Structure 1
């Protein structure tokens, strides 16, 4: 079995304790030599400054290629230009361009009157700028706002045509979910690389809430397996084996890249990578 290329998603810390957890996560996972790591925005763009600080610190201290998330929420075009200028000055070459979630308390996304109406508009803006490799999001299952089963596939094609070179999917529980999406994208002319997003399940309750929020279906067998594992006290073992098996099936199906949603907790992600044959290549001495 081929060893996949890997990447990791982190989120910016909002407390001192969270800062230590992020730096520990980077320290543990950086020796696995990911192709890149990405740093998210909070809902409504609330962590914009923290995201920039985390991106620049990780790149400086760990020597990693850091992709900065950028959203359309509550930002004018001029503000977005200032943000990407700061990223370019800091040496950032990759951006994950997303529409973004609605601000806290809002029920739906509303474009800023002087901003971008969608991720396609943001991607076009970044492509015209020309300084960044542009990644985007993708939904292997219908987005909660999708009008029909193929809406997300067609929208991904529009993102590609606007300038995105690769897409990272929302998480899912079964490899066939990804394969069906990949086949549908192929039929619609999507040629950009589609990277499966993998969620190592740190907390089953948290994963259920996350799935409900983003429209990820949860198979009955997964629910039953975790309920049994919780009764027997082997939830961590199940999470490790289930995530490793999912990755193995994807790799055997031709997938070459995997992105792990780490939730800034590195142990399970590291153990899955080890099980896939991805081992540390160097010891990092720098710390944030």
Structure 2
């Protein structure tokens, strides 16, 4: 089922993100995580896309496994990074063969070791161009990314919202946001989007913290701010992984509860290929009938 149809029907979606492992030998452990996430009855699971061919084949394989061997819809990521239009057409054909009909269209981050995104010959320079191509190529439901604290390369949130508007006007059906920890940032972003006549559903992305060093690195890379009270709390216990995870789960639950009280279209959890903490959060929020 297409995600645009789910949103029209349900007005809310529960979803999780997983990513292909760096080594194919780790697939079995990822499939075990996916099996546990499927027990939570999500509306869909998203699968990220490796740059420059690094995990592209695994993205298709994992997405197909979720779509065709569980009773769960899948959202496959697709980026512009080192990908020509011909490459993109072949990938879309692979998705079609596997009955994958939902795509998250992203420009993508520069490849490892490079600081800026460079459009390759015959490729795409911006996500809105990729959205237009996918829209014309086949009957897919297309999502795009939103950045509550502004994309790290954008000069301002207003400029970034204009970029989001281009992606939506190009044919995207919904928006999933990058991680954030202050809900006020999300509300401000959502209000600005509405003021720019962006009418598609905007789904907040939630990142449960379970490792201090990891979240510090991720937040730095994507420009997300960790509120001082949250940072100080997890820093004090940063050497005690169980305490970091415990507080991270509690924070994610509180953050999600407040969002649920403020009419969000769904909750999208970045699982980092772990299921235990996601299961606890979903259970506490009473979002699943499967546990």
- The 1:125–1:168 alpha-carbon spacing in structure 2 relative to 1, beyond 3 Å, is same
CA deviation profile, 1:244-275 (whole Å, cap 9, x unmatched): 00000101111130100001001111110000
For 2:217, what is the secondary structure of its paired residue?
Answer: helix
Determine which structure has greater relative contact order: mean sequence separation of CA pairs < 8 Å that are 6+ residues apart, divided by chain length.
1
Residue 108 of structure 1 aligns with which residue? 116
RMSD, aligned CA: 1.8
- In structure 1, how many angstroms separate the alpha carbons of the residues matched to 2:12 and 2:278? 14
Is the contact between residue 45 and residue 103 of structure 1 (CA under 8 Å) also seen in structure 2?
Answer: no
- After TM superposition, the score normalised by the length of structure 1 is 0.93
Aligned length: 281
- 1:25 equivalent in alignment to 2:39: no
2:84 to 76, 87, 90: 76
Q: Tell me by how many angstroms 1:45 deviates.
A: 4.7
State which of 179, 193, 199 in structure 1 corresponds to 2:201.
193
Q: Does 1:168 align with 2:168?
A: no
TM superposition shift of 1:165:
0.5
Match of 2:157 among 149, 152, 161: 149
Contact kept? 1:137, 1:167, Cα under 8 Å: yes
Q: Is the 8 A contact 1:45 1:71 kept in 2?
A: no
Deviation at 1:17, TM superposition (A): 5.3
- From 81, 92, 109, the counterpart of 2:100: 92
**Partner residue of 2:190?**
182
Candidates 239, 244, 249, aligned match of 1:235: 244
| 2:24 is equivalent to residue 5 of structure 1 | no
SS in 2 for 1:234: helix
User: Is 1:277 aligned to 2:248, yes or no?
Assistant: no
- SS of equivalent residue, structure 1 residue 168: strand
Stretches of structure 2 that go unaligned for 5 or more consecutive residues are 1-10
Contact kept, 8 Å, 2:212 with 2:235, in 1: the verdict is no
Match of 1:128 among 115, 128, 136: 136
